[in-house]
Amino acid sequence: MRKILTVLTALIILPFASFAKDPEVRLDIVPYPQSVEIGKGSVKIAGAQFYCDPRLDSLSRVTVASLAGKLSLVTGKISTNVIGISSTIAPPQKGFVFLFDKAMEDEEYSISATAKCITVKASSSNGFLYAVQTIKQMLPTAVYGRKMAVSEDWSIPVCEIKDKPRFKYRGMHLDCARHFFPVEEVKRYLDIMAVHKLNRFHWHLSDDQGWRIEIKNYPRLTEIGAYRSGTMIGKDFGSNDGIVYGGYYTQAQIKEVVKYAAGLGITVIPEIDLPGHMLGALSAYPQMGCTGGPYEVWTKWGVSNAVLCPGKEDTFYFLEGVLTEVMEIFPSEYIHIGGDECPKDHWKTCPDCQKRIAELGLKSDDKHSAEDYLQNYVTSRIQAFLGNKGRKIIGWDEILEGNLSEGATVMSWRGVDGGIQAAKMGFDAIMTPNTYCYFDYCQALKSENENEPLNIGGELPIEKVYGYEPFDGMDENSAKHILGVQANLWTEYIEEPEHLEYMLLPRMAALSEIQWCDQSRKDFERFKTAIDHEFKIYDTLGYTYSKVIKGIHGYKN
C-alpha cells in the first residue's frame, strides 16, 4: 500500500511545453465533452509530474496511479522522485495536478491544459475516472496498450474542458442466460463500457433457457436449471443439436465481477426475471409451477408458457429466498425483476391462482384481465419485500399493466411508449427502446444482412442509434422522470465472444453520446470523423467490432 501511495504522488521532471504550429486541432473524444476550448500549442506528457490532492478518495488515487503507471510504461519514462501536496501548500505549476473540488456535481470534471500544467478537478471518483478516460482519448491509442511506444507524440493540446453527463443512468445490458459468457469476457465487456463512460451494467442472469447464478439455499437451480439438453440450430425451431449446453457463475465469481466493475465506476444491476421466463427455475423446482411439471430447460428461443404460480405461498417463499441471496451479492440500489412476456394461460385454469384471485377480489375490466392484476400483485409484493431491505425495483414496461405501486422504475423496451406513459404517471423510467437500443438487431440494412453474422433480425444501423433523442414525445415534467438510456444485447444467436463484441461495437460509442451529450452537442458528422480513432482503440485493446459504417461486413473480415 505504501508503494501505491508513493506512485500516487509521483514526480518526474522533464522538459515541458511544445507548441503546435497549427492551432486547428480536432479532439476525437467519444462521448464528446459538453464544453471544449482548444488553445495554441500542446503539452508534452512523457515524464510528466503527478500530484494528488490529499482529499482524493482511495479509488481516485488508484485512478491517478493507474494513469501514471500506464504513461511510464508506454512512454518509457519511469517515476523516480516523490513530492506530495498538503492542504496548506499551493498546487505546483508543472505536470498533472489532480484536485478535489466540492463545488462540482457528482461525475462532473474539468481539465485545464496549459503549456506546463494539466489540472484535473472533480468531486467524485467517477469524475476523476472520466477525466482520465478523456485524457487517454487525446493521446495516441498506444496508451491503451501494454508495450513501450516511445516514437509516438506523447502530448495533448492546450485546452479547457468542462464536462458532465446528461443522464445519471448510462447503462448496457448483457444476456448471459441464452448463451453463457465466462467471467473474463464479462470483464472485457465492463472494460469497454468504462472507455465510453457508461456506469450501469444490467446483468440478465435467468431465463427459460438457463439459470446462471448460484443460490446456495436452492442448489438445484444450478445443478439442473443451468443446463439444457441442446440448442436449436439456426432459426429452425423444430431442431436440436443434442449438445448439452450451460454454465453458471458462483457467488464468489459474481462478487469478483461486482468489485471489478466498481473499480471502473460501474454499478452492476442483477436481473432475476419473474414471474415469466422462469423455465430454468421450474425445471429444478417444478412444485413452483401451476402444473407441477415435469419441466425442462428450454432448448429453443422464444417464450415458454410455463411460469411461476402466484397462487402458492411457497412461490413467494422461494422468490424471497433467492432475492435475499441476490441482495447479499449485489450492493446495487436497484434489483431488476423482469416482469415481461408472462403468458397467463396456466393461471386461468390453475385452482391455486383462481383462489388467489378470488381472495384478492381481482376483477377483469375493459383494460386488463384478472390475471393481469394477479401479476401486478406479484410485482407489488416483491417490490415491498425488496423495499423493506432498502432496495428498489426496475421492471420491463409490462409492469405498467395494472396498478403499479409508487417507487417502481419502468424500463421501456417495446418502443418508447412505455417510458412516455410511465413518466406521465410520475414513475421514473429508463429508455431502452428496441427501435433504437437493441444491439442484437443487425447493424446493416436488410439488403446487406446476408453478409452479416446470424442475428435475430431487424436492422439497427449506427446512424439510427445515434439519432435517438430520449425526450421526444415528452413534456418538461415527464422528462424529469427519465433517469437515462440503456442498450440491450440479447444473445439467442450470439455464442462466441467475438460475435458478442461485433454486435456491441461501435454502436456502444453512439449510445454513449446519447447518454452523455446534451442534444445540442451531438453531431453525427463529427462522430463519424472520430470513429477511426475509436477503431484504433478497439484494435489496441483487441476487440472485435463492426466496420459496416465503412462498408465492410462480417466480423471475420
142-199 pLDDT, tens digit each:
999 999 999 999 999 999 999 999 999 999 999 999 999 999 999 999 999 999 999 9
pLDDT one-digit tens code per residue, 387-407: 999 999 999 999 999 999 999
For residue 2, pLDDT over 80 is answered with no
For residue 14, pLDDT over 80 is answered with no
Top pLDDT among 23 and 59 is at 59
pLDDT value of position 77: 87
| Weakest mean pLDDT among 75-79, 282-286, 548-552 | 75-79
In the set 277, 481, 499, 533, the catalytic residue is 277
Distance separating alpha carbons of residues 522 and 527, to the nearest angstrom = 8
pLDDT value of position 448: 82
Distance separating alpha carbons of residues 328 and 395, to the nearest angstrom = 20
pLDDT value of position 78: 63
pLDDT one-digit tens code per residue, 507-516: 999 999 999 9
Mean pLDDT, the chain, integer: 93
pLDDT one-digit tens code per residue, 417-470: 999 999 999 999 999 999 999 999 999 998 888 889 999 999 999 999 999 999
pLDDT value of position 209: 98
Give catalytic status of residue 341 as yes or no.
Answer: yes
Query: Quick one: pLDDT band at residue 12, thresholds 50, 70, 90?
Result: very low
Q: pTM of the predicted model, to two decimals?
A: 0.95
In the set 53, 207, 273, 371, the catalytic residue is 207
For residue 3, pLDDT over 60 is answered with no
Distance separating alpha carbons of residues 190 and 258, to the nearest angstrom = 10
Which residue(s) pair with 162 in the sheet?
Answer: 35, 110
* Strand stretches in 83-223, DSSP E: 95-100, 109-113, 117-122, 155-163, 169-175, 200-204, 206-207, 210-211
pLDDT value of position 9: 41
The number of CA neighbours under 13 Å toward the Cβ of 82 is 8
Distance separating alpha carbons of residues 113 and 157, to the nearest angstrom = 7
Give catalytic status of residue 207 as yes or no.
Answer: yes
In the set 341, 352, 498, 523, the catalytic residue is 341
Query: Quick one: pLDDT band at residue 84, thresholds 50, 70, 90?
Result: low
Query: Quick one: pLDDT band at residue 348, thresholds 50, 70, 90?
Result: very high
Give catalytic status of residue 277 as yes or no.
Answer: yes
SS3 of 380-449: HHHHHHHHCCCCEEEEEHHHHCCCCCCCCEEEECCCCHHHHHHHHCCCEEEECCHHHHECCCECCCHHHH
